[in-house]
Amino acid sequence: MARRVFYSFHYQPDNWRVSQVRNIGAIEGNKPTSDNDWETVTKGGDKAIEKWIADQMHGRSCIVVLIGAETAGRKWINHEIIEGWNAGKGVLGVHIHGLKGVDGKTSSKGANPFDHITYGTGGKKLSSIVKVYDPPYTSSTDVYDHIKKNLESWIEKAIEIRGAN
């Protein structure tokens, strides 16, 4: 049975790369939002955005952060990570800089977004527990194939890790 996941990503620079990952059939991801839908949500302010995120996360077992060049440290990415973690969902990251964008080019590797978030009473970085995967290839086709081959097992591992913590 396919897992239902919530994809977290920086929309403007990475939506083309993200659409490639969403097309991997073994995983049921959240429905893509159009620019117009997102504009409508954001016009409602922070509370509307928080509600939209909560609605999108409902019934999902894992949060997959697709990490582009500018993903780390973004307000809503951080919010999605924290909400997913606090709800007991599996959380993981996948670097997507090696996938070609709409312009046919790859991008630079982004920082680990889990370095920006702490958890527990000791204030440990979430990056000390959440796994981030970086496909070891330079060809966009090879990067895609690596993600396709491994995403399902990465999600299962993230759910297992979260269950143990």
The pLDDT of residue 63 is: 96
27 band by pLDDT with thresholds 50, 70 and 90: low
Model's pTM, two decimal places?
0.92
The pLDDT of residue 164 is: 86
The CA-to-CA distance between both ends of the chain, in Å, stands at 24
Query: What does pLDDT average to over the chain?
Result: 90
Kindly state the average pLDDT of the residues 73-81.
96
Kindly state the average pLDDT of the residues 69-77.
96
What digits encode the pLDDT tens for the residues 81-112?
Answer: 999 999 999 999 999 999 999 999 999 999 99
Contact 2, 60 (CB under 8 A): no
The pLDDT of residue 25 is: 66
CA distance 51 to 30: 15
142, two tokens? 């090879």
Which domains are seen in the chain, by residue range?
Answer: 3-164 (3.40.50.450)
SS (H, E, C) the chain: CCEEEEEECCHHHHHHHHHHHHCCCCEEECCCCCHHHHHHHHHCHHHHHHHHHHHHHCCCCEEEEEECCCCCCCHHHHHHHHHHHHCCCEEEEEECCCCCCCCCCCCCCCCCHHHHCEECCCCEEHHHCCCEECCCCCCHHHHHHHHHHHHHHHHHHHHHHHHHC
CA distance 69 to 77: 13
HSE, CB side, 13 Å, CA atoms: give it for residue 123.
1
What digits encode the pLDDT tens for the residues 113-132?
Answer: 999 899 888 889 999 999 99
What digits encode the pLDDT tens for the residues 133-163?
Answer: 999 999 999 999 999 999 999 999 999 999 8
40, two tokens? 């409508």
3-state class of 94 per DSSP?
strand
The pLDDT of residue 142 is: 97
